Chain A
Amino acid sequence: MSAIQLSSPSASRVIPFLLDLARDPIVWLIALIFVVGAMTSQYYLTTLNLENLMRNVAVIGLLSLGMTVVLLTGRIDLSVAALMIFSIVVGVVVMTEIAPLIGSRWLVRGNTYAGPIVPVILIALTTGAAIGAINGIGVAYFKVASFIMTLVSLTALRGFNYVLTDGHPYYLKAPLYQWIGDSKFAGIPVSFLLFLLVLLVLIGFVNGTVRGGRFYAIGGNEKAALYAGINTRRYVVLAYVISGLCAAIAGIVFTARLKSVDAPLAAGYELTAIAIAVIGGTALSGGIGSPWRTLLGSVAFAAGLNLLAIWGVGTWYQNLAIGIVLIASVGLSKMSRKKSKS
């Protein structure tokens, strides 16, 4: 019996999926942006611009993916942007400190780091996960409101960034870094492929496994999850660790593109990440949303911002636009949810 049901051909799911997709307002929004972009600018659909767009999506998309997981549990992570820079700074600074100990001086010349990049990446990932764990433990075990906990992290990490770098930028010179930042694979930027990889892993975990489903349960009704015998605190910590890891990967992609890292970089990106998750349909109150929809959200967001830039709209107005979009999407999603309920 069950075998018949379970092996029911995937084709029968593809069609409803496509129908759902066609009914999704965000898909229409993306299409609209591209159509308007193509009509108003001859550069919009050029390969160069699209590659640029994909690289932008990679950075903010990675941040938003981590944010989505945290939001699913009904919490928030304001530290992602600061952490994304911090993890790279830690990686570089630790390596420059270690260099004299292992007797090699060639690692650093002035503010240029030319040593091996793989250890930097590993240290960055560890740092991301560790800070995420600290956030998570503070929120889950010490019951600090997530807003406060991660706001404190944000401020502290920003401060550490200056302390560790002494306020100077570091230049990063490494072939691997150049490859991540600039190269393409089958015509698609490597950084975007990296983002897609993380996306697939997260979709698999969050939407495909029982454990991933816990995030939805906790966000829907934490008490119910607790009463069902779920160790909710552990899952909250896990969500923050995922967010921290995503931030570190975003940091790698971001700094690989700039070939440098500097303390004040990526200020305000945490709001961008929240905006994207919400545009993708994630509920700030938790329990609703998915990594897949966050992909759509980040494409819509990056495409819109890219269009504004092409039109020559100033950065400050772009920030204003981010704010308006965030408020509008939260308001609209609340309203549509109410409607579908009644």
Chain B
Amino acid sequence: MGAPLLELKSIRKTFPGVVALADVTFDLKAGEVHALVGENGAGKSTLLSVMNGLTAPDSGEIRIQGQPVVLSGPTVALANRLALVHQELVLCPNLSVAENIFLGREPKARLGRGNRVALNRMAEDLLGEIHVNLDPARKVGELSLNEQQIVEICRALASRPRVLVFDEPTASLNDDQVGHLLGIIRKLKANGLGVIYVSHRLGEVLDISDRVTVLRDGHVVGTREIAGLHEAALVSLMVGREHKPGEAAYKERQYGAVALEVKAISKASVFDDVSLEVRAGEIVGIAGLLGCQREAVARSIFGAASIDRGEIRIRGKAVALRSPREAIRAGIGFMPADRKGEGLVLPMSVGDNLGMAILRRLGRFGLLKRRQKNATANELVRKLAIKVSGLFQLASQLSGGNQQKIVIGKWIARGGDIVIAEDPTRGVDVGAKFEIWCTIQGLADEGKAVLLLTTELQEMMDACDRILVMSRGRVTGHFDRKDFSAEAIAHCFVA
């Protein structure tokens, strides 16, 4: 059998005031998928950056095929054929898909454009392996979040690693693509690779893994064989408490008047003749596969992109939203999926982020009413159960779930009556997920109209009152909650 591919022994890592990892031991055999699960803040990210050489552990030992190694940087990790698919997208927007995939391991010096042709061909092959149709010559900056994720995965595969670490690889993939990805992972496994799989989607974890290690608060709660393990058992290991399904958050409500009405809006070669309406107290989802352009529709409603034809009415009044500023004034809040890039100012404090959308209200004669800002922020932190050490903690230091709560809190503070939420639970753990869904249901309870875009159809079906389905820029289906069926909705995906 030989030594395991990768062994971590008694890894300990502390950050000022926090023990991120306390005595973590982990091993990975060749031809195995070993899942790593735990709530946000359990220490998964730290453990992964230790494996990738980005963080040096305080103590403990790392062995690769029995040999002790010091991973002093990503370069060293790569040299040991240990590759990581990053959760956040770490790509060069100014380079092409192919250049990104092979960055750092381009085929040796064939000069000039000839090289580019070869590179594109290789990228095409690689993309073909995971059955994705993406032009390798396109600039990554022009791609959607989902497509960028695919590039990220291909990049790790391109290094032909022996140990491949997936950090939330499916966070923004739809069910179809997840299936493809899992298929690839099985193939890699059959080739004798070791795969470490980190995901909040426990269904996938149970589906793909051989073993699972559960982390909680920097400790290993246990390492189990997957065979005979159930989702409920796994969840209770993770959170140490009862599992509350996403649906539990849903409540029936009375709807008010139509708050947002979109009438046949079109944008040339993006979307065509899209109509929808959301009443006060109603949660409406827009479902669709990658490329259905629902994100573009949401951005147009928020005034971040123009429309060619059609009309947007807010509380019955036709409006022309030329910028997000005007949309916000009209009472629309937008929670982007890319919360690090578009939703938060990471180097600013929790308090400043929460107060950002209400600065005008917090000012008097151009001076900031700090006390009032802090009072508002404190109230939100309490209401949303955001785990922070204080209002002065930087947003960048929080876990994904807590960051998302701040994005939501910002718009609660603003008090607009229409909210567009894009993937609010992206990369968020089970416990925080439930809390976020409760918060979003709470928004609707308060009489806000909520427009919801999530990648996981099941989540959308759990949370929404109605679902609209889009395909290639058109609305292809419309379902009330009582008629929800994954099959029927999926049928409209390709209509």
Contacts and interface: CB of A to CB of B under 8 A. Distances in A.
Interface of A: 2, 5-6, 13, 204, 207-210, 213, 216-217, 219-221, 223-231, 287-288, 341-342
A217 B105 contact: no
B49 to A, nearest CB: 11
Contact of B117 (A5, A341, A342): A5
B256 interface: no
Given A204-B111, A224-B90, A341-B141, 6 more contacts: A2-B117, A5-B117, A6-B110, A217-B95, A221-B91, A224-B103
A224 B106 contact: no
A230 B155 CA distance: 14
A221 B92 contact: yes
Contacts of B86: 227
17 contacts: A5-B114, A6-B117, A6-B118, A204-B111, A207-B112, A216-B92, A221-B92, A223-B90, A224-B100, A227-B84, A228-B74, A228-B103, A229-B74, A229-B79, A230-B75, A287-B93, A341-B142
Contacts of A216: 92, 94-95
Contact of B99 (A213, A231, A288, A341): A213
A208 B95 CA distance: 15
Contacts of B105: 228-229
A220 B94 contact: yes
A13 B117 CA distance: 13
A116 to B, nearest CB: 37
B78 A229 contact: yes
A226 B74 contact: yes
Contacts of B94: 216, 219-220, 287-288
A230 B111 contact: no
Interface string B119-146: 0010000000000000000000110000
A288 B93 CA distance: 10
Contact of A228 (B108, B118, B155, B305): B155
A287 to B, nearest CB: 4
A231 B109 contact: no
Contacts of B99: 213, 217
Nearest to B112: A208
Contacts of B485: none
A338 B113 CA distance: 27
A2 B91 contact: no
A126 B279 CA distance: 72
Contacts of B78: 229
Interface string B265-277: 0000000000000
Contacts of B108: 210
Nearest to A7: B114
A288 B75 CA distance: 25
Contacts of A225: 92, 103-104
Interface in B359-411: none
Contacts of B90: 221, 223-224, 227
A224 B109 contact: no
A8 to B, nearest CB: 8
B75 A231 contact: yes
| Residue in A207, A210, A287, A288 whose Cβ sees the most chain B Cβ within 10 Å | A210
B277 to A, nearest CB: 26
Contacts of B110: 6
Nearest to B90: A224
Interface string B75-86: 100110000101
Nearest to B93: A220
| Residue in A208, A220, A231 whose Cβ sees the most chain B Cβ within 10 Å | A220
Contacts of A231: 75
Nearest to A1: B121
B305 A229 contact: no
B115 interface: yes
Contacts of B114: 5-6
